[in-house]
Amino acid sequence: MTGDTRPFPFGVFVPPVSIDMALVRFRGINGNVIQGTLIIVDDDDNITMPNGAKINGRSISADGAKLDGIELKATADQTGIEIVSLLEALIAGTRLSHDYLDDVGVDDHHDEDHSIASHDDTTATGAELEALTDDSLADALHRHSELSSPDGAPDRAVRLNTTGGVGVGVDATATLHLKAGTAAAGTAPIKFNPGTLLAIPEVGTIEFDGDHFTITNIATRKVIDRTSNIIVSTVTVASTAAETLIWTAPMAANSLRVANLFKLHVDGIISNNGPAEADEVTIRIKVSGVTKATLSPNTKTLAAGTTWHLEANATQRTLGETGSRAIHIHLAIGDSATGDEVTVVDVVAINTTINMDVTITAQWASAKANNTISLFQGFMEYKN
């Protein structure tokens, strides 16, 4: 029909066609010409360009700016409706591949190498991860799960086992398993930051408010006691009149808070020659090397193996260079018939800004062979 300008029936007019055989597509009674050479539109709306490239014309959106379908690694053009449609189309039990999400680059998490799928290296791809079943993923995590350290080198920081155990720096043999600490700063197995205690205690919680650790049992929160300075060998003072150290509880400067409560216990056996003055023993309790209590029992004949014990408790009232501490100390030697008891109750000055080591000494009035006192046990309890 080249050059034929006669009207078609029904009033349709066909304009002249160029020598490049322009393609005419009819809409209503008008013919729209697509300009260019060898551009072909077939019955399925596919558009073939002069270089042979084919475009699915049905995927061109109404605004002409993007494709309606979600394609692999597209150009950040998917809409919410499109993504929902993709999710709805997933077969039951399958996973959504990160390849279907736009703009995944080398700095994105899903493009990073993973070790979970391969177990023995760091080359697993997103596709490999996607192919894992739930059971195989759990097994893979058990055998070789890694998190990278800040320098990028795998350090097996977190490890999971097949029973749901989590190990931090160690293979888990418990629900939560932490690796051992070291002497280096910052390597403690667990550390609490000070915080505000719960307004309503919750069963099974451990909390730290900066002064005290607490634990809650059956909705009752109580401070956790701590015991230290336990002796594991006997200390004996015999045949000497020199004042001799028998027990120490280190207490660092500025390590206390108001209302801190301590309790100490020491015990052992004692003996002497008889009621002569030279057979008396004196027990002294000191803080920072300064005597805060002196216990001098009445001298009696103490047979070999006579028992003795000393109990003391103290409450820190105030802090600072003029701090104060209330004390109660009770020394018991033997029984009421053959022994003696001494008690000291007082409020003493304690400078909490310096070393506050608590020490106990024993001193005999004379150096006799049978004047002997032995310490079997000794420990300090920090009640809060």
Sort strands 290-295 and 40-41 into parallel, antiparallel or unpaired.
unpaired
* Angle made by CA atoms 268, 274, 278, in degrees to the nearest 5: 90
Under the banding of pLDDT at 50, 70 and 90, the label for residue 54 is confident
More confident residue, 42 or 53: 53
Phi-psi map region of 76: left, alpha, beta (phi>0 left; psi -120 to 50 alpha): left
Closest CA to 308 of 229, 377, 262, 228: 377
Quote the pLDDT of residue 144: 46
CA distance 227 to 1: 108
* Angle made by CA atoms 21, 26, 32, in degrees to the nearest 5: 60
pLDDT at 212 over 70: yes
Under the banding of pLDDT at 50, 70 and 90, the label for residue 361 is very high
CA distance 246 to 3: 124
CB 308 within 8 A of CB 267: yes
CA distance 372 to 41: 115
Under the banding of pLDDT at 50, 70 and 90, the label for residue 65 is very low
Quote the pLDDT of residue 116: 42
CA distance 359 to 379: 11
Count the residues in the chain: 384
Q: 343: which 2 tokens?
A: 């008690």
Quote the pLDDT of residue 245: 98
Kindly report the three-state secondary structure assignment for every residue of 156-182.
CCEEECCCCCEEECCCCCCCEEECCCC
Other Cβ atoms closer than 10 A to 208:
15
Under the banding of pLDDT at 50, 70 and 90, the label for residue 82 is confident
pLDDT at 342 over 90: yes
| β-bridge mates for residue 154, sequence order | 148
Quote the pLDDT of residue 317: 98
154 DSSP assignment: B
Mean per-residue pLDDT, 325-338: 90
Quote the pLDDT of residue 70: 42
Q: 202: which 2 tokens?
A: 């919750």
pLDDT at 104 over 50: no
Residues 6+ apart with CB under 8 A from 289: 357, 359
More confident residue, 48 or 376: 376
More confident residue, 244 or 70: 244
pLDDT at 319 over 80: yes
List, for residues 225-241, the tens digit of each pLDDT value: 999 999 999 999 999 99
Under the banding of pLDDT at 50, 70 and 90, the label for residue 36 is very low
Under the banding of pLDDT at 50, 70 and 90, the label for residue 312 is very high
Q: 301: which 2 tokens?
A: 């004949």
Indicate the range of 5-14, 49-58, 220-229 predicted with least confidence. Answer: 5-14
Sort strands 158-160 and 54-56 into parallel, antiparallel or unpaired.
unpaired
Quote the pLDDT of residue 90: 67
Computed over every residue of the chain, the mean pLDDT equals: 77
Domains of the chain: 9-59 (no CATH), 109-178 (no CATH), 191-224 (no CATH), 228-382 (2.60.120)
pTM: 0.59
List, for residues 105-164, the tens digit of each pLDDT value: 444 444 444 444 334 444 555 666 556 555 555 555 544 444 445 555 555 678 888 898
Quote the pLDDT of residue 148: 46
Quote the pLDDT of residue 136: 56
pLDDT at 97 over 60: no
Sort strands 54-56 and 46-48 into parallel, antiparallel or unpaired.
antiparallel
CB 182 within 8 A of CB 158: no
List, for residues 262-283, the tens digit of each pLDDT value: 999 999 999 998 877 788 999 9
List, for residues 157-176, the tens digit of each pLDDT value: 788 888 989 998 889 999 99
